A and B are shown apart, each in its own frame.
Chain A
Amino acid sequence: MTHEMLADLAALAPELWLTAAIVATVVADLFVGVRGRALVGTLALTGIGLALWSLAHPAEDMPHRVFGLIQTDGYARFFRALILSGTGLVVLQAIVFRGIEEATRNEFVPMLLGTALGGCLLVSTDNLIMLLLSLEMLSLNSYLLAGWQRRERRSSEAALKYLVYGALASALMVFGFSLLYGISGSLDLPVIGVAVSAAWSGAHSTQIVVIIATVLCFVGFGFKIAAFPFHFWAPDVYEGSPTPVTTFLAVASKAAGFGVLCRFVDGVFLGEAFNAEWLPRLAHVVAVLSAVTMTYGNVTAVLQRNVKRLLAYSSIAHAGYLLMGVAVMLARDGGESGLDALLFYLATYYLGTLGAFGCVMALANRFGAEDTDDLQGLGWSAPVTCGLLVVFLVSLTGLPPTAGFAGKFMLFRACLDGGLAWLAVVGALNAVVALFYYFKIARALYLRGDTTFVPGLGRRGVLPALAHFSLLLLGLATVYWGLDFDALSHWVARSLL
Chain B
Amino acid sequence: MDILTLITFSPLLAMLAIMLVPAGRKDTLRTLCAVGAFVPLLLASKLWMDFDTAQAGYQFVKQVDWISALGVQYYVGVDGLSIPLVWLTTLLLFIAPFAAWRIEKGVKGFMLLLMLLETGILGVFCSLDLFLFYVFWEVMLLPMYFLIGIWGGPRREYAAIKFFLYTLAGSVLMLLAIVALYLCVRDSVATPFSIPMLSQLVQDGTLTGVNLVDNGVLFGWPFLKWVFVFFFIGFAIKVPIVPFHTWLPDAHVEAPTSISMVLAGILLKLGCYGILRINLGMFPAIAMDFALVGAVIGVVSILYGAFVAMAQTDFKRLVAYSSVSHMGYVLLGASAFTTLGLNGAAMQMFTHGTSSAMLFLLVGVAYDRAHHREIEGFGGLASVAPLYTGLTTLGFFAALGLPGMSGFVSEFLVLVGAWNVYPVLTSLAVIGIVVTAGFLLWTLQRVFLGPLNEKYKDFPEVDGREVFTLVPLGVLCVLLGVVPTLLLGHMDATLEKLRLLFA
Contact = CB atoms under 8 A, between A and B. Distances in A.
The binding surface of chain A is classed by DSSP as helix
A448 B213 CA distance: 48
B395 to A, nearest CB: 31
A400 B105 contact: no
Ranked nearest first, the 10 interchain pairs of A and B with the lowest CB-CB distance are A428-B172, A400-B135, A447-B149, A489-B69, A432-B169, A400-B138, A399-B138, A432-B168, A412-B179, A413-B179
Contact of B173 (A413, A416, A428, A485): A428
B160 A431 contact: no
A485 B139 contact: no
B180 interface: yes
Interface stretch (B140-148, B198-206, B404-412): B140-148
A394 interface: yes
B156 interface: yes
Given A412-B179, A428-B176, A435-B168, A399 B142 contact: yes
Interface string B160-189: 110011001100110110011011000000
Interface stretch (A32-40, A417-425, A465-473): A417-425
A375 to B, nearest CB: 14
Contacts of A200: none
Given A431-B168, A435-B168, A400 B157 contact: no
Contacts of A405: 135, 138
Interface residues of A, number: 32
Contacts of B183: 413, 416-417
A399 B139 CA distance: 8
A486 interface: yes
B339 to A, nearest CB: 37
B139 A429 contact: no
Nearest to B184: A416
Contacts of B68: 486
B70 interface: yes
Contacts of A280: none
A405 B67 CA distance: 14
A436 interface: yes
Nearest to B149: A447
Contact of A401 (B135, B180, B182): B135
A416 B69 CA distance: 18
Interface in A163-203: none
Nearest to A492: B69
B449 interface: no
Contacts of A425: 173, 176
A443 B157 contact: yes
Contacts of B157: 443, 447-448
Contacts, number: 84
A442 B142 CA distance: 11
B161 A439 contact: yes
A319 B69 CA distance: 25
A405 B105 CA distance: 32
Contacts of A413: 179, 182-183
A345 interface: no
A272 interface: no
Contacts of B105: 451
B164 A435 contact: yes
B80 to A, nearest CB: 28
Given A416-B176, A429-B169, A443-B161, A380 B69 contact: no
B297 to A, nearest CB: 23
B168 A446 contact: no
Chain B: number of interface residues, binned into ranges: 35 or more
A486 B179 contact: no
A325 B221 CA distance: 27
A442 B134 CA distance: 23
Contacts of B217: none
15 contacts: A400-B138, A409-B175, A409-B179, A412-B175, A416-B212, A421-B180, A428-B172, A428-B173, A428-B175, A435-B164, A442-B146, A443-B149, A443-B157, A446-B149, A484-B66
B489 interface: no
Nearest to B152: A447
B9 to A, nearest CB: 13
B176 A486 contact: no
Interface of A: 380, 394, 399-401, 405, 409, 412-413, 416-417, 421, 424-425, 428-429, 431-432, 435-436, 439, 442-443, 446-448, 451, 484-486, 489-490
Contacts of B218: 421
Interface in B114-166: 134-135, 138-139, 141-142, 145-146, 149-150, 156-157, 160-161, 164-165
B149 A435 contact: no
Contacts of B172: 428-429, 431-432
A347 to B, nearest CB: 14
Given A413-B183, A424-B176, A428-B176, A439 B164 contact: yes
B179 A446 contact: no
B118 to A, nearest CB: 16
Contacts of B66: 484
B141 A399 contact: yes
A430 to B, nearest CB: 9
A299 to B, nearest CB: 14
A147 B165 CA distance: 38
A380 B105 CA distance: 11
A489 B164 CA distance: 30
A412 B176 contact: yes
A204 B160 CA distance: 58
B390 interface: no
B134 A400 contact: yes
B106 interface: yes
Given A412-B179, A425-B176, A486-B68, A401 B139 contact: yes
A380 B150 CA distance: 11
Nearest to B104: A451
Interface in B207-234: 212-213, 218
A413 B469 CA distance: 46
B165 A486 contact: no
B146 A446 contact: yes
Contacts of A416: 176, 179-180, 183, 212
A107 B134 CA distance: 49
A398 B314 CA distance: 37
Contacts of A399: 138, 141-142, 168
B65 to A, nearest CB: 10
Contacts of B142: 394, 399
A436 B161 contact: yes
A262 to B, nearest CB: 21
Given A409-B175, A432-B168, A486-B69, A439 B145 contact: yes
Contacts of A446: 146, 149-150
B135 A447 contact: no
Nearest to A482: B135
Contacts of B138: 399-401, 405
Contacts of A443: 149, 157, 161
Contacts of A431: 168, 172
A448 B176 CA distance: 34
Contacts of B70: 485
A394 B135 CA distance: 13
B176 A435 contact: no
B475 to A, nearest CB: 37
A380 B165 CA distance: 25
B167 to A, nearest CB: 10
A484 B67 contact: yes
B198 to A, nearest CB: 16
A268 B386 CA distance: 83
A417 B70 CA distance: 14
B191 to A, nearest CB: 15
B228 to A, nearest CB: 16
A28 B183 CA distance: 56
A447 B150 contact: yes
A485 B71 CA distance: 11
Nearest to A391: B142
Contacts of B146: 442, 446-447
